Structure 1
Amino acid sequence: MSTLEQFGYRQELNRSLGFADLMIYGLIFMVPIAPFGIFGNVFAVSHGMVALAYVIGLVAMAFTALSYAQMARAFPMAGSVYTYAGRGIGAPVGFMAGWAILLDYVLVPGLLYLVASVAMNSFVPAIPVWAWLVAFVVLNTVVNYLGIQMTARITRIMLVAELAVLAIFLVVGGIALAQGKAQTGFFTPIFDSSGFEWNVVLAAASVAVLSFLGFDGISTLAEENREDAQRLGRSMVAALGLAAVLFVVQTWVAALLTPNRDNLIANGDPAGSAFYDTAAFAGGTWLSVLTAVATAVAWGFANSLVAQAATSRLLFAMGRDRQLPSFLGKVDPKHKVPVNATLVVAAISLILGIYMSTRENGIGELASLVNFGAMTAFLLLHVSVVVYYVIKRGSRNWLAHLIAPAIGFVVLVAVVVNQNVHAQWVGGIWLAIGLVALGITYVMGRRPVLPKEVQ
């Protein structure tokens, strides 16, 4: 089994997480009830084939999870795709992969805080959005500072609560369907010949994958995993599979019960209330309120808690290698957490969340950018598998090290091409800035390098 010291690093973080902790972490990061918050947008873009959009999103993420598992075995350390591309291909490529996924990791906590704060403000309008943002950020920062074990305990509790709410919705929804409340045919959510077009479904999948982002966050905890690296990879695959089943089932039931289907497809869901309207139609106002509050708490506390933890580990890894400011590599000696990185993530999330709350479509803009950053980084991940295993090590395991990553790459390209044009432009500018920054380091004689592996 490879050790951290073998790759030129000291073990500073606390190795206390097992397979179950990692899988639960991934589930919470993805949020078992994540489709509640974006159901209306996916429904509108997919022309009602929301379950199909999630199935395609699963296919894209499944191959990505397999590539993550392969690279986690080879390089069991923090840093996610930054580490894998840097070690698998080369340090400059690793920098660009890390830069790309920063667009996901740095923005996603702000997105989650914003969604939750807007939702809570709708229930308690006397407390402004910015105040909810401050409360969520401070609470999560304190919990994360107290150590990864505290974060793991909180996530277990939140997972049980989210699954309970989901179970209630599915039971009530099942009863409503048995009572004849279905608004369309049983198989329409998975395929509707009258509205099916590949570009439509792929565009919807590019939105739906937002719900799947988070399984990859497990890889950032590699240095806090107390078991072997294979278990880390398996926990990613297991978390993704369980979440996918939950996503498809809940969106299928909701799509069958969605009232005013044609209006939703034609006009979208600007208020973000489509799922809650469906819940009210199925079971009454109490179910609408329950699902809305659960979404706010899940996104603003549980999901953003683990998102902040994952982002801080990415910044920690890049800071430790001096590819970002080195102060990000500082570890608190008592709690064994990357303290400076944690505080920086909190500050960025607070400023970004408050700013985007003033924009008309701030949530939509953030969601599109998060997806673009993740998909771009995942493309480099698939390339890393092929380069490291097939080219560098001469692997003849064609299925795991060539065919699977190649399919994953092609599927992701199709998803990225069909993404929001605004996200493509802004994401492209972000990547260009990264290339300029990389070029400057070469001009200054400080090209990216990683500690050498000890043979």
Structure 2
Amino acid sequence: MLNSGESPNTRREPAEKQTGYTQELRRTLTFKDLVTFGLITMLPIAPTQVYALASAESFGMAPLVYLVGMIAMVFTALSYSVMSREFPIAGSAYSFVQRGLNPHVGFLTGWIIILDYLIIPGMLISFSNLWLSAVLPGIPPIVILIVFAAIITLVNVRGIILTRWASYLFLFCQLGLIVIFIICALKYVLIDGNGLGGFSLSPFYQPGKVDLQFIATAASIAVLGFIGFDSISTLSEETRNPTRTVGRAVVASLCLIGLLFLSQSYFATLAHPDHTDLDPGMGYFDIIREVGGDVLYYAFIVIGVACVGIANALTVQSAISRVIYSMSRDKLLPFSGILSKVHDRYKTPANATIFVGLVSVLTGLFLSLDLLAKLVNFGAMSTYMLLNLSVITHFIIKNKRRGFGSLIRYLVCPLIGFSVIGFIWSGFDKTTYIIGFAWLAIGIVFGAIKSKGYREVPPALSEI
């Protein structure tokens, strides 16, 4: 079915005529591949990282926290969905804001994404190093950083097909562990009579404790656990039928990961309802050991190390390398001629991928995990707000979609998404704002130089 206002001939135009770019990347990915990519990026076993914090902040109602977060993020996911159908090209929010809102604001969006995603692989590898020390103490951090960065860079340079199969492998490992944990938790609670001793609604609702302030706090905690669903849209130029596939995959992966988070946190709460004695860093692992013993405990740590340091970092590096590639072919970054090169054999943005790998090692060595996490959150939330605004500008203001359905889809939903993200964005600490806005200021100056005072736009936009 054609979009409103789309002529029958539009779909048959070559990609370079529709987008202004020649198709260089290899189209191999399907809906299933994209959903798997999104799930891996968001990490199915992510509650191992934040469950204890979420439980402490919510009076033991961590499942409710994840439910609120999933509902809150759906609105922004819908914005990504409609923009990916409208502009099926690599670059994610950079390309969407560039074409839907303003080319120069689009550049600044891409600049913010770079701050966000460029440092995530290093942060993830550092997390793995932290966990690995619980099993194999004494390994120098630089060794882990270099080995993990080399693995993910090699896989991504070799091609999206290899990345896809690695994603499937790690996804099945995580899903297998989750199923085993739930089975052990059921036995621990229902058969052995431990924890709450049976099913209960208390993990979702406790009278007198749930109010608007609770919901706001819950959203601010949980939304950060869903960062990464947007990475799917960076693969538009490597996807078969992207106008139909990418948007559906974005929403599907967000809903599926939400259900996985809900189920894990629910059974963890049934097994260990007292949130006051949970260790902030290892609380979830302690519950795993409680219900499944040492074997399951160490299995989660080992698989967690591999999934975070390799699988999760692999998909994030793949996403940011394509954003850098997209901005470089628009000649908007330093060394654009080098970073926009596509590997002759593998048809991947190899130079951009290698660059991200090098930065991953440096960020992991010289920046703290706390600072990295703050910068990632600032970049992601800023990007999501601009993306929601671009939907309103493109469909309501520029294309004048004013019917009832269009107003709900292109105005109300993006406004809700913008408001939720804006609330979370307003709660960052002073250090995050200082570093985030300093990075943005550098981007504004650099963008002014590249565009001759913001008067020129990338050639691809002027050729459409």
> What TM-score comes out, normalization by structure 2 length?
0.90
> Over residues 165-221 of structure 1, what are the superposed CA-to-partner deviations in whole Å (9 max), with x where a residue is unaligned?
110111111111213322599333323345545445534433433331222111000
Structure 1 199/3 Cα, relative in aligned 2: closer, same or farther at 3 Å? farther
> Over residues 96-117 of structure 1, what are the superposed CA-to-partner deviations in whole Å (9 max), with x where a residue is unaligned?
2112222221121111111112
Structure 1 442/301 Cα, relative in aligned 2: closer, same or farther at 3 Å? closer
Is the Cα contact below 8 Å between 1:119 and 1:292 reproduced in 2? Answer: yes
> Over residues 392-445 of structure 1, what are the superposed CA-to-partner deviations in whole Å (9 max), with x where a residue is unaligned?
111131121111111111111122223455434432333333333334445667
Pairing 1:221–2:230 present: no
Q: 1:10 aligns with which of 16, 22, 37?
A: 22
Which residue of the partner structure matches residue 181 of structure 1? Answer: 194
Q: 1:168 aligns with which of 177, 180, 187?
A: 180
Deviation for aligned residue 1:224? 0.2
Amino acid paired to 1:303: N
Q: 2:305 aligns with which of 296, 300, 304?
A: 296
Amino acid paired to 1:410: S
Which residue of the partner structure matches residue 405 of structure 1? Answer: 414
Deviation for aligned residue 1:25? 0.9
Structure 1 228/436 Cα, relative in aligned 2: closer, same or farther at 3 Å? closer
Is the Cα contact below 8 Å between 2:181 and 2:288 reproduced in 1? Answer: yes
Q: 1:347 aligns with which of 351, 358, 370?
A: 358
Which residue of the partner structure matches residue 246 of structure 1? Answer: 260
Gaps of 5+ in 1: 357-361
Pairing 1:378–2:389 present: no
Deviation for aligned residue 1:363? 2.3
In structure 1, C-alpha distance between the alignment counterparts of 2:419 and 2:440, rounded to whole Å: 20
Pairing 1:26–2:47 present: no
Pairing 1:280–2:289 present: yes
Q: 1:137 aligns with which of 149, 173, 195?
A: 149
> Over residues 207-261 of structure 1, what are the superposed CA-to-partner deviations in whole Å (9 max), with x where a residue is unaligned?
4333312221110000001124121110111111111100111112113333752
Structure 1 228/140 Cα, relative in aligned 2: closer, same or farther at 3 Å? closer
Structure 1 57/169 Cα, relative in aligned 2: closer, same or farther at 3 Å? same
Of the structure 1 ranges 287-296 and 404-413, higher mean CA displacement relative to structure 2 is found in 287-296
Which residue of the partner structure matches residue 330 of structure 1? Answer: 341
Equivalent positions of 1:54-73 (< 5 A) are 54-73=66-85
Q: 1:317 aligns with which of 312, 322, 326?
A: 326
Structure 1 199/441 Cα, relative in aligned 2: closer, same or farther at 3 Å? farther
Structure 1 255/434 Cα, relative in aligned 2: closer, same or farther at 3 Å? farther
Of the structure 1 ranges 444-453 and 26-35, higher mean CA displacement relative to structure 2 is found in 444-453
Secondary structure of the corresponding residue to residue 308 of structure 2 = helix
Amino acid paired to 1:227: N
Which residue of the partner structure matches residue 359 of structure 1? Answer: none
Is the Cα contact below 8 Å between 1:438 and 1:447 reproduced in 2? Answer: no
Is the Cα contact below 8 Å between 1:3 and 1:76 reproduced in 2? Answer: no
Is the Cα contact below 8 Å between 1:203 and 1:418 reproduced in 2? Answer: no
Is the Cα contact below 8 Å between 1:114 and 1:133 reproduced in 2? Answer: yes
Gaps of 5+ in 2: 1-10
In structure 2, C-alpha distance between the alignment counterparts of 1:381 and 1:418, rounded to whole Å: 20
Deviation for aligned residue 1:41? 2.5
Structure 1 161/227 Cα, relative in aligned 2: closer, same or farther at 3 Å? same
Deviation for aligned residue 1:133? 1.4
Amino acid paired to 1:369: L
Is the Cα contact below 8 Å between 2:447 and 2:454 reproduced in 1? Answer: no
Pairing 1:363–2:375 present: no
Which residue of the partner structure matches residue 4 of structure 2? Answer: none
Deviation for aligned residue 1:31? 1.2
> What TM-score comes out, normalization by structure 1 length?
0.92
In structure 1, C-alpha distance between the alignment counterparts of 2:422 and 2:286, rounded to whole Å: 34
In structure 2, C-alpha distance between the alignment counterparts of 1:95 and 1:297, rounded to whole Å: 34
In structure 2, C-alpha distance between the alignment counterparts of 1:159 and 1:91, rounded to whole Å: 37
> Over residues 16-73 of structure 1, what are the superposed CA-to-partner deviations in whole Å (9 max), with x where a residue is unaligned?
1111111111111111111112222222333432222212221222111111111111
Deviation for aligned residue 1:163? 0.4
Amino acid paired to 2:460: P
In structure 2, C-alpha distance between the alignment counterparts of 1:340 and 1:446, rounded to whole Å: 29
Pairing 1:97–2:109 present: yes
Amino acid paired to 1:336: K
Is the Cα contact below 8 Å between 2:125 and 2:313 reproduced in 1? Answer: yes
> Over residues 321-378 of structure 1, what are the superposed CA-to-partner deviations in whole Å (9 max), with x where a residue is unaligned?
111121211111111011111011001111101123xxxxx32332222122111101
Which residue of the partner structure matches residue 126 of structure 2? Answer: 114
Secondary structure of the corresponding residue to residue 123 of structure 1 = coil
> Over residues 370-394 of structure 1, what are the superposed CA-to-partner deviations in whole Å (9 max), with x where a residue is unaligned?
1221111011111111111111111
Pairing 1:437–2:451 present: no
Is the Cα contact below 8 Å between 2:341 and 2:350 reproduced in 1? Answer: yes
In structure 1, C-alpha distance between the alignment counterparts of 2:200 and 2:429, rounded to whole Å: 30
Which residue of the partner structure matches residue 52 of structure 1? Answer: 64
In structure 1, C-alpha distance between the alignment counterparts of 2:184 and 2:258, rounded to whole Å: 21
Is the Cα contact below 8 Å between 1:137 and 1:350 reproduced in 2? Answer: yes
Secondary structure of the corresponding residue to residue 347 of structure 2 = coil
Amino acid paired to 1:189: P
Q: CA RMSD in A?
A: 2.1
Amino acid paired to 2:62: V
In structure 2, C-alpha distance between the alignment counterparts of 1:214 and 1:10, rounded to whole Å: 27
Pairing 1:82–2:88 present: no
Secondary structure of the corresponding residue to residue 43 of structure 1 = helix
